[in-house]
Structure 1
Amino acid sequence: MDNVQGVVANLSGTLHNLVAELSSFWLLVQFGILLVAGFAGALAGATIRRRVDLDKLGASWPPLIKLLAKALLDCIGTILFIAIAFIAREAMLSMTWPSRSYLVGVAVSLATAWVVIALVTSLIRNQFIHRVVSIAAWTFAALDIVGLRSAVRAELDAYAVMFGGLRISALLVIKGTVLLLIALWIANALSDFMDRRIKSEKDLTPSVQVLISKMIRILLIAFAIITVLSSVGIDLSALAFFSGAIGVGLGFGLQKIVSNFVSGIILLADKSIKPGDVISVGEHFGRVGIMGARYTSVDTRDGREYLIPNEDFITQRVANWSYSSDLVRLSVKFNTTYDSDPRKAQAAAVEAAQRVDRVVQKPTPQCMLTAFGSTSIEYEMWFWIRDPAAGIINVRSDVLLALWDTLAHQGVTIPKPGPARVIYELAREDEPDPPKDQDDTAAPKSPFPG
């Protein structure tokens, strides 16, 4: 209650001083200085931003310098306002009492705090965290500038609730939230930096790179949370009261999330699936992209990216086309007529497969005679490729087209479909016999005896 009265007293004193200043000539002078400084700063800042091409000027600058330069250019109008207002205040301090330039001094301090906070928070790329940190930092600076920080802090700390042996106040919640956001941002920034460094190491396999990056991210986030809880005065031993509830929550509500997370760690540890592998799981076929904490992305040939839960790779049957070798064997089937030489057909098929660019020469393509069908000879040809991610159907199509051209060139005939051939043969049987030639008729008998 005393804190509330203190805040009210401070506000009353501030309002009293403001009312007293409203009746003075110097208040109008200060408003005039601020308006002129604001107009001049905005006009000069807009002119400078139009004339400065930052993209062209800083083309070779590092990314960090570019971010700071862009933030500085955005604040150039405010910086000019600060310079003009500061010069005007110094002139007023040399001519009259400091109280007659108090409003200008407060405006200069608030604008300076805004510029400093804008430059620092420009390094935060997450827009939500950027806004929260900016608002919280400027609010703290504004309260400190006007002399209300201590009173507001005491008032926020007065509203609190008890959970077991833990006292949670409004001030603790605000401080913890802001510090946690900043700490998590720093942890993510460090983990991204470490992730880029780890991926640049060529001696590590992709699965080991992802595993190390995940462990570093988890450790940094855990360290950030523990550090924030300790810095705001929370005794970690007091959180033991909630351990039972957290365990129940993990057992029921977060069961799938924990299962997917553990499955992702297992996949990375045993290297059964790693980024870049070509796999087929369920109805999905494609290349493994990002292996996240909850899911793994699979890029398909049609441009789609499927996010498959990590648990599915543990519980379902997965075909890894590039697990131990990048060689993949494919096959095509074809038939020839019985009046075609089967050995010539086999040689033509191998030659056709070798003419396709994506078919490797070793192991050599092989063509096997598999059966003597009712109307044709049946074959199956095997060939190998090294890039299944580039497509399976398209390389089969190329081999079949090459097979069509080669068989036609070698004089090997591909039979027509069965039903059409039967109908054609039946039609040939139903045709009438051709008329006999006149020369084949019997010679007439002689009218003369003997």
Structure 2
Amino acid sequence: MEQLNRILQTPLIVFGDISISLVQIFTVLAFLVIGVMLVLWSSSFLRRRLGKRGVDVNVVQLVSRAWLILGLVIVVISTLDLLSVPLAAFAFVSGAVAIGFGFGAQNIINNFISGWILMWERPIKIGDFLELGEVRGTVESIDTRSTRIRRVDGVHLLIPNSQLLETTVTNWTLVDDLVRTAIRVGVAYGSDVRLTESLMYRAAKEHPDVLETPPTLVIFDNFGDSSLEFELNVWLHSTAERGLRLIRSDLRFSIDELFREHGIVIAFPQRDVHLDGQLRIVRDRGVTAGQSD
């Protein structure tokens, strides 16, 4: 036992006045494992408790992330204290390392800071429906490096947090889920325009998802090349593009059915071509007369 104790107490690393023995290394490793596991467990426990109390998921994520980072910092500082490493010396070394690391990991640091800005200022929240270029989907999680979005086709995308702050993002549900959608339809020339207007109002009024306030609006938009063009504008609550597409589909079914019942014809592109046959006959006669001469 004395020999084993002597081996464990033998300094393995000597740095100035600081010496680190084998028993210190074992102690630090055990402390790190237990400390990290405790921090992870407490962060998960905090997330579950706040979730059961009905706290907003964005607040839950912000609090749990902050506690996780704070706990890891405490574990690291306590580990240095166990090794008797003065923080002043460590600060000098860590500063030099941080400068070198910063030049090589600018994108990672940028995304990390952007992630905290997103969670703190909350311009984008979990559950929001976003449109970023050609990408449309619902935010499922905001992590420290990237944001996970589920597209309308079910595919998951990981978008760097810095991209969400540096580019134009359309947030359909930033303030509320009140959106307006429009349906355009063209009817044949000669149709009763007032009847067409009333039937479109009726189709919107009979749909359960169309709101009364703001009011529905039917616009006689234009005299088109092949049709009289109308536009139906309705307001509704929707948090995803799929909901809007389904409602527009229902309204088109209703409009088509009502138009058929009242004899309103939905126009299709057409072009009339008029041929002047008389001019052709005159020319042919002229050619014949010239030949006979």
TM-score bracket for the superposition, by shorter chain length: 0.7 to 0.9
Q: State whether residues 196 and 264 of structure 2, in contact with CA within 8 Å, keep that contact through their aligned partners in structure 1.
A: yes
Distance apart, 1:316 and its partner CA? 0.8
**One-letter code of the match for 2:94?**
S
Distance apart, 1:248 and its partner CA? 1.3
1:175 aligns with 2:35: no
CA distance in 2, matches of 1:311, 1:166: 42
Q: State whether residues 18 and 84 of structure 2, in contact with CA within 8 Å, keep that contact through their aligned partners in structure 1.
A: no
1:161 aligns with 2:13: yes
1:341 matched to which residue of 2? 192
Distance apart, 1:190 and its partner CA? 0.6
2:121 matched to which residue of 1? 270
1:305 matched to which residue of 2? 156
1:223 matched to which residue of 2? 74
Q: State whether residues 166 and 238 of structure 1, in contact with CA within 8 Å, keep that contact through their aligned partners in structure 2.
A: no
3-state SS of paired residue (1:379): strand
2:258 matched to which residue of 1? 406
Please give the root-mean-square deviation of Cα atoms over the aligned residues, in Å. 2.6
Q: How many residues are aligned here?
A: 276
Distance apart, 1:221 and its partner CA? 1.6
* Structure 2: 5+ residue stretches without partners: 278-293
CA distance in 2, matches of 1:164, 1:283: 59
3-state SS of paired residue (2:251): helix
Name the structure with the higher strand share.
2
Q: C-alpha offsets along residues 84-119 of structure 1, whole Å, 9 cap, x if unaligned? A: xxxxxxxxxxxxxxxxxxxxxxxxxxxxxxxxxxxx
CA distance in 2, matches of 1:301, 1:319: 15
CA distance in 1, matches of 2:12, 2:155: 51
Identity within the alignment, %: 29
CA distance in 1, matches of 2:117, 2:17: 39
CA distance in 1, matches of 2:275, 2:211: 46
Q: Please, what TM-score do these two structures have when normalized by structure 2?
A: 0.83
Relative to structure 1, is the Cα distance of residues 333 and 162 closer, same or farther in structure 2, using a 3 angstrom cutoff? farther
CA distance in 1, matches of 2:82, 2:70: 18
Alignment of 1:222-371 (within 5 A): 222-371=73-222
3-state SS of paired residue (1:160): strand
Relative to structure 1, is the Cα distance of residues 409 and 153 closer, same or farther in structure 2, using a 3 angstrom cutoff? farther
Q: C-alpha offsets along residues 337-389 of structure 1, whole Å, 9 cap, x if unaligned? A: 11111221122222223333433333232211111112211122111221232
> Is the deviation greater in 192-201 or in 181-190?
192-201
3-state SS of paired residue (1:161): strand
Name the structure with the higher helix share.
1
1:193 aligns with 2:68: no
2:283 matched to which residue of 1? none
Q: Please, what TM-score do these two structures have when normalized by structure 1?
A: 0.56
Distance apart, 1:157 and its partner CA? 5.2
Larger RCO, structures 1/2 (Cα 8 Å, 6+ apart): 2
Q: State whether residues 280 and 319 of structure 1, in contact with CA within 8 Å, keep that contact through their aligned partners in structure 2.
A: yes
2:287 matched to which residue of 1? none
Q: State whether residues 164 and 241 of structure 1, in contact with CA within 8 Å, keep that contact through their aligned partners in structure 2.
A: no
* Bigger radius of gyration: 1
Q: State whether residues 278 and 285 of structure 1, in contact with CA within 8 Å, keep that contact through their aligned partners in structure 2.
A: yes
Q: C-alpha offsets along residues 30-66 of structure 1, whole Å, 9 cap, x if unaligned? A: xxxxxxxxxxxxxxxxxxxxxxxxxxxxxxxxxxxxx
Distance apart, 1:315 and its partner CA? 0.3
